Amino acid sequence: MALKSSINSALAKFKHFYSSYELSRALVPLIVLIIASIAMSPQYFLNPMNIKVVLMQITPLALIATGEMPIILMGSIDLSPGSAQAATAMIAAILTRTTNNILLAIMAAVALGTLIGVINGVLVAKLRIYSFVATLAALVIWRSFVIIVSGGKLIYGLTQYAMFTQDFGTYIPIGFVLTVFIIIVVYVLLTRTVIGRYIYGLGSNEEAVRLAGVRADFVKFLAFTIAGTLYGLGGVMLIAMGGFAVDPWTARGNELNAIASCVLGGIMLTGGSGHPLGSLLGASMLTILTNILVLLGVTEIAVQQTVVGIVLIAAATALTRGLRYVK
Amino acid sequence: MEDRQALLAENIVKRFPGVVAVNNVTFELRYGEIHGLLGQNGAGKSTLLRVIYGVHKPDHGNIYIDGRKIVLKSPRDARMHGIALVHQEITVIPDLTVLENIALLGFSWNWLTSRFDYASFKEYIDRIMSRFRVELELSEKVRNLSAAERMLLQVVAALSINAKILLLDEPTSPLSLHEIERLFDVLNQLRKEGLATVFVTHRVNEAIDVCDRITILRNGEKIATVESRAIDVHTLIKLMLGREPEELYKVRTDKDVELVIGRYATEIPLIEMRNVSTQPQRAAEMPLKKINLKIYEGEVVAVFGFVGAGKTELGKALIGLTKISHGDFLYMGKRVKIKSPVDAVRYGIFYLPEDRKIEGIIPHFTVASNMDISSLNIVKRFGIFVDGARELRISLDMIKRLNIVTSSPYARITQLSGGNQQKVLVARAMLTKARLVIFDEPTVGIDVATKAEIRRLIFRYARERGVSSLVLTSDVDEALGLADRIYVMRDGEIIREYINRNVDRDEILKNLA
Ligand SMILES: Nc1ncnc2c1ncn2[C@@H]1O[C@H](COP(=O)(O)OP(=O)(O)OP(=O)(O)O)[C@@H](O)[C@H]1O
Ligand SMILES: [Mg+2]
């Protein structure tokens, strides 16, 4: 009896914790996933090499998901991260090839990413095109850009980018550490600054925020621009973590992975709600999930995608439970 | 009048984190009565109604209908027992017709098995409307309806599912005087037909006029249920407040006006509109016609007119949201163009919207963040960071000054009662460094004592800090009690201007008759 009541009270406490901290929406399932994968095969999952591989896979995805996140928090959507990542990676690859100057290549990639974000921002904030439509156009256009500048050819052997996979014996690649650092900056931006306040506010009630005299269009523009910069970094990390090669169809479909990461990370697609570390946690979940599937011998991409889809539906259901309505 | 008991809510307790919203309340409702439910903001009126309507599960207590105990798991259950809730925030679909909305709200047929027979449904609704003397054009799009008609639509929808118990949460707040009369005609008819009605209002006179009995709540507790024949306004207010009320209407004296009058001839007004007209962009918008308006520094100006007179359009024209097609807008004597709220803020003009839910609150934000969203420039540190300690200090101060009932500054705004949300928005306006604040119906849905409090705050704020206030109001007592000057507005035109000294209430009202 005493045991039962203490279990009940522990459960009640957990429920309270779970519902009062936005982060727990993502943290709890992530921990469950990690425990599950360790339980399945400790020697495989706890193998440092596997840990390093997982961290490498998380890195580019976490970057684009973190770019996408403020946009979703604003109540908009960005469909361009996949193509933006490809375009920036391709530019970096070409410049690395032609000039052999990796710093220049990286700067160019980040600059191009930022430019893509600026254009998205102008289309949405200034020309008032629905973000879905504006960035759908960006998705198509920037993919065509990649195909044109690459001449349809694969660029490989970009081993200079191996520096991002170095781990100095810790099995934590430098690129991942850098990414976490950038995510912390975004975290501070979203939680501590005026811009972050406005971003959440726009997602919650844009009309009210505009009437309060906030320069809403500028905030939107800024969010898209920052996202573009992060996509550029995501492009660079794609080369580093993805076998030092870029092909014209690289990162295809990554816009959906970015959005899925946000959803898994507890970012509400209706805007205004979600913890700023959600993108990182969601990207981790998505990656670990694929990792488990590989371990289970599910190598067929189609089957993997199906499982991911089902998990996404489950996550989205948990997220919107108790809401009166969603769009 | 029947005397049979319709509903008994017995020893109801409803707690929310940090507050007991309804504390051991026993509430009895009879057939054939209009039962008033009164109390200050946050007293627990809406919560009690939501418990009876099955939205909230009570922590304690029972509900009986016709003497039988029932358990309500959802509003659906409540409707099956003949209980319907009508309030401002229920969504009607603007692009559908009245009849279609009634069908949707009534939700009285099975979607899968029965066919929706338009003609017979219309006939059915027509019968209900003639029985209860409701007049509504069924084929009209809801978008073109007035607030009162939307309210009546909800009443008809409730009647269409044979509701016997109607719960009306502040139905009269957004209505003008004759609209209120129209609603009361219907309510009286409901009473004659033996229905039981609960009626929440902040207008004490109104409650005494139409209700048979009145129940008063204070801090979640029931104070009394009284026969309205046997009570007067003063006693009722005393019961609501738990103390002797202070002066409720006049927050300023005629002498206050003398101080500003001298300036009218000599000074340049802060804001002036000369022959301003607008072209409506949406169907329901009232065009402004040749508006001439002046607002001096530190002056409180009221624009008085009924709902739909164009006051909101005027307010929005001042912040660039209604496009000015003719005429001049002058700021300190110079012609300016204000194209958006951002421009307006640059000139120090701030508008506090009347539609709290759609244009006011930011639902995911805390009380504190809702207050300072328009004044983050004074709460920030190092250019971009929000200073949390400062935010807390400012919000605590405002909570105290405006008497806001909330468990903490960090409570989500949606957890506050309607009136308290409105007070948070008033705090938002006061925190801006504006030179002109436009208050659009600042005290709708606010209890009597706090109404006076807010008016006093607006007045003091104008005088002490030299901030001008433009109060758009449909309450003539608000205009008279608060303003230095009063413009009377009708159909998008300013038809009279009064300097508020020895002005007769009836004379002002005559303009609108
Ligand atoms: N969903 C909720 N979560 C937490 N607290 C709530 C919630 N709903 C209401 N409350 C609290 O319960 C108390 C009673 O609120 P209620 O809305 O019933 O007041 P009210 O009498 O209708 O006031 P008003 O006249 O302002 O509409 C308030 O203190 C309010 O903050
Ligand atoms: Mg209420």
- Say how far apart CA B368 and CA B388 lie, in whole Å: 10
Instruction: State residue B213's pLDDT score.
Output: 95
Condensed to tens digits (0 to 9), the pLDDT of residues A173-187 reads: 999 999 999 999 999
Paired with B380 in beta bridges are: B386
What's the pLDDT at B419?
83
- DSSP secondary structure letters along A162-201: GGGG--TTSS--HHHHHHHHHHHHHHHHHHHBHHHHHHHH
DSSP A42: H
Q: What is the pLDDT of residue B453?
A: 82
Residue B133: pLDDT band with limits 50, 70, 90: confident
B310-337 pLDDT, tens per residue?
Answer: 899 999 999 998 888 889 999 998 999 9
Q: Does domain A25-320 have CATH number 1.20.1300?
A: no
Report yes or no on B356 lying in a domain.
no
Judge whether B354 lies within some domain: no
Which tokens hold the place of B495? 């038809």
Instruction: Say which ligand is closest to the CA of B423.
Output: 1
Nearest to B20 by CA among B310, B186, B217, B214: B217
In the predicted model, is pLDDT for residue A17 greater than 70? no
CB-based contact B135:B127 (threshold 8 Å): no
- Residues of A within 8 A of B345 (CB-CB) are 213
Ordered by start, the domain boundaries in chain A are: 25-320
Q: Is B173 helix (H, G, I), strand (E, B) or coil?
A: coil
**pLDDT over 80 at B60, yes or no:** yes
Most confident of A23-27, B297-301, B455-459: B297-301
- The fraction of chain B above a pLDDT of 90, given in percent, is 41
Share above pLDDT 70 across residues of chain B, in percent, rounded to a whole number: 95
Q: What is the pLDDT of residues B137-181, one digit of tens each?
A: 888 888 877 777 888 888 888 888 888 999 999 888 877 777 888
The two structure tokens encoding residue A171: 């099995």
- Are both B376 and B463 inside the same structural domain? no
Distance B367 CA to ligand 1 centre (A): 14
Q: Which of A316, A222, A211 is nearest to A269 (CA)?
A: A316
Residue A99's Cα: distance from chain center in Å? Answer: 30
CA B252 to each of CA A138, B245, B259, B300, B390: distance values in angstroms, whole numbers, following the listed order: 60, 17, 12, 11, 33
Question: Does residue B355 belong to any structural domain of this protein?
Answer: no
Average pLDDT over residues B401-422: 89
Q: Which amino acid is at B420?
A: N
ipTM given for this complex: 0.86
Quick one: B131 and B187 in the same domain?
yes
Q: Residue A180 in contact with residue A64, Cβ under 8 Å?
A: no
Do residues B5 and B30 touch, judged by C-beta distance below 8 A? yes
d(CA A119, CA B169) in angstroms, rounded, equals 48
b/e code B296-328 from CB counts within 10 Å (16+ = b)? bbbbbbbbbbbbbbbbbbbbbbbbbbbebeebe
pLDDT at A185: 97
Atom of ligand 1 nearest to the CA of B416: 31
Those residues of chain A whose CB sits closer than 8 Å to some CB in chain B are 192-197, 200-201, 203-205, 207-215, 272-273
Hunting for tokens 């039981």 — which residue is that?
A: B196
Average pLDDT for B506-512: 86
For residue A198 the two structure tokens come to 């406005």
Q: What are phi and psi of A41, to 5 degrees?
A: -160, 85
B426 & B440 share domain: no
- Interatomic CA distance for residues A258 and A281, integer angstroms: 12
Pull the structure tokens for residue A148: 């044109």
Ligand 1 neighbours by CB, cut-off 6 Å: B 16, 19, 21, 39, 41-47, 405, 415-420
Tell me the pLDDT tens digit for each residue of B330-387.
999 899 999 999 999 889 999 999 888 888 999 999 999 999 999 988 888 888 999 9
Residues B277 and B406 placed together within one structural domain of the fold: no
Phi, psi of B301 (to 5 degrees): -115, 135
Query: Can you give the pLDDT at residue B207?
Result: 92
B390 lies in which domain range? 363-432
Q: Which of A203, A211, A273 sits opposite B341 (nearest CB)?
A: A211
Q: Which residue among B12, B13, B19 has the greatest number of ligand 1 atoms within 8 angstroms of its CB, and so is best to mutate?
A: B19
Residue type, B219: N
Find the A247 Cα to ligand 1 centroid distance in Å: 59
| Whole-prediction pTM | 0.86
Categorize the per-residue pLDDT at B298 as very low, low, confident or very high, splitting at 50, 70 and 90: confident
Q: Are residues B471 and B502 in the same domain?
A: yes
**One-letter-per-residue 3-state SS of B388-438:** HHHHHHHHHHHHHHCCCCCCCCCCEHHHCCHHHHHHHHHHHHHHCCCCEEE
Indicate the length of chain A as a whole number.
Answer: 327
Q: How far is A200 from chain B (nearest CA, A)?
A: 8
Residues B13 and B132 in one domain: yes
**Is pLDDT above 50 for A327?**
no
What residues of B are in contact with residue A210 (Cβ under 8 Å)? 341
Pick the last residue of a domain from B432, B453, B477: B432
When scoring B349, B365, B430 by the number of chain A Cβ atoms within 10 A, the one with the most, hence best to mutate, is B365
Number of folded domains that form chain B: 3
Distance (angstroms) between ligand 2 centre and the Cα of B170 equals 7
* Contact residues on chain A for B384, CB-CB shorter than 8 A: 193-195
The distance in angstroms from the start CA to the end CA of chain B is: 34
B358 in any annotated domain? no
Q: How many A from CA of B41 to the centre of ligand 1? A: 8
**What's the pLDDT band for A301 if we cut at 50, 70, 90?**
confident
Residue with tokens 């959005």: A259
Contacts of residue B26, defined as CB under 8 A and 6 or more positions apart, other chains included, come to B8, B9, B10, B11, B12, B222
Residue A163: count other Cβ atoms within 10 Å of its Cβ: 12
More confident residue, B102 or B213: B213
Whether residue B408 is found in the same domain as residue B307? no
Task: Looking at the complex, report in whole angstroms how far the Cα of residue B11 sits from the nearest Cα belonging to chain A.
Answer: 26
Confidence of residue B111 (pLDDT cuts 50, 70, 90): low
A139-196 tens-digit pLDDT = 999 999 999 999 989 999 999 999 999 988 898 999 999 999 999 999 999 999 999 9
Give the DSSP per-residue string, A109-120.
Answer: HHHHHHHHHHHH
- Please report, rounded to a whole number, the percentage of residues in chain A having pLDDT higher than 90: 66
Q: Residue B55: its chain A contacts at CB < 8 A? A: none
Reported as a single tens digit per residue, the pLDDT across B256-284 is: 777 677 777 778 889 999 989 988 877 67
Domain boundary among B394, B417, B432: B432
Structure tokens at A107: 């700067």
**Is the Cα dihedral A59, A64, A69, A70 positive or negative?**
positive
pLDDT digits 0-9 by tens, B171-215 = 888 777 778 888 898 899 989 989 999 999 998 889 999 999 999
Residue B35, SS3 per DSSP:
strand
SS3 call for A306: helix
Nearest-atom index, ligand 1, CA of B445: 25
The pLDDT-based confidence of B115 (bands split at 50, 70, 90) is low
The one-letter amino acid at B109: W
**What is the B46 CA–ligand 2 centroid distance (Å)?**
4
Among chain A residues, the shortest Cα distance to B351 is held by A211
CATH number at residue B176: 3.40.50.300
Inform me whether the pLDDT recorded for A21 exceeds 60. yes
Instruction: Kindly state whether residues B275 and B372 are assigned to the same domain.
Output: no
Written as six digits, the tokens of B104 are 């949707």
| Average pLDDT of the residues of chain B | 87
List C-alpha distances in Å: B90 to B87, B155, B415: 6, 12, 17
Quick one: B103 and B166 in the same domain?
yes
Whether B117 and B219 map to the same domain: the answer is yes
User: What pLDDT does residue A201 have?
Assistant: 96
Q: Which of A192, A207, A213 sits opposite B345 (nearest CB)?
A: A213
For residue B256, count other CB atoms closer than 10 A to its CB. 15
- Confidence check: pLDDT of B245 > 80: no
Q: What ranges in B193-286 are assigned the alpha helix state H?
A: 204-210, 233-241, 254-266
Same domain, B277 and B342: yes
Say whether both B276 and B193 belong to one domain: no
Q: Which of B379, B407, B432 is the last residue of a domain?
A: B432
Candidates B328, B340, B254; CA nearest to B294 is B328
Assess if residue B283 is contained within a domain: yes
Question: For residue B23, is pLDDT > 90?
Answer: yes
pLDDT higher at B9 or A296:
B9
